[in-house]
Amino acid sequence: MIHAFVAAIESPASHDLLDGRSEGRALCEALELANIPHSYSLATDREALRIALGDRLRAAARHHGKVPIIHLSMHGNAEGVGLTSGDFFTWDELRIELLPLLRATKGTLLVCMSSCFGNSGCRMAMQEDNEPTFWALVGNTDSPSWADAAVAYISFYHLFFKGLDLHNCVESMKLASADHNFVYHIGVKTKQNWQNFLRENSEEQIQNAVGNPQL
């Protein structure tokens, strides 16, 4: 049995809230039906996101007696993610917010990015320091619709909590959503590849690669 719970943290755009679109709540309803432990936080601004990743996450972990899987449902682009308030976190800034959790979980954290270009979150592992990174990150290389993202992640968690390996769970996302842009990155591998790349390439080549995070 997977000793984890899904910590869904959502920050929709204001027009999503106006129209009643909530991928995070739809996901949690499916998780409830499948008896998958979970928590939900609506984080509309920078302070709320920090509380969601801090006090609320710790309280949920105590309640469930399990480690979290971080599910971030928000708008994004290749440079980072945005909140309802208009606040924007670059990938480096989001990594800083996640660092206490990364340290506490010691390289075992699974991060699921339900956002446009969430795949680019792999940049959080492209570091030269000795800080721990995530175990794995799941995301999309393009701009999935909310419907496709919701269906994909419902499929992912349903199979992951049944004990299927990460590769097969991500393959199921592609089939369930008919969107073949869902991918995953292993943190240690991504970090090592990046450090090797830094040693072997010029500054110009490194800057070009930053805009195309496919390591």
Domain ranges of the chain: 4-210
Compute the distance between CA of residue 134 and CA of residue 101 in angstroms, rounded to an integer: 9
Query: So what CATH class is 4-210?
Result: alpha beta
Residue 200 burial by Cβ neighbours in a 10 Å radius (0-12, 13-18, 19+)? exposed
Place of tokens 């682009």: 77
What pLDDT was estimated at residue 158? 97
The number of residues making up the chain comes to 215
Residues 71-99: what's their mean pLDDT?
Answer: 97
Distance (Å, rounded) from C-alpha 206 to C-alpha 32?
A: 44
pLDDT in tens, 166-195: 999 999 999 999 999 999 999 999 999 999
Helix axes 46-53, 55-64, angle to 10 degrees: 30
Q: Report CA Rg, the chain.
A: 16
Predicted pLDDT of residue 98: 98
Q: Does the pLDDT of residue 210 top 70, yes or no?
A: no
Provide the H-helix boundaries in 54-165.
55-64, 91-105, 146-160
* Structure tokens that stand for 129 in this block: 């320091």
- The answer to whether residue 1 scores a pLDDT higher than 80 is no
pLDDT in tens, 25-51: 999 999 999 999 999 999 999 999 999
Report yes or no: 26 and 150 within 8 Å, Cβ to Cβ: yes
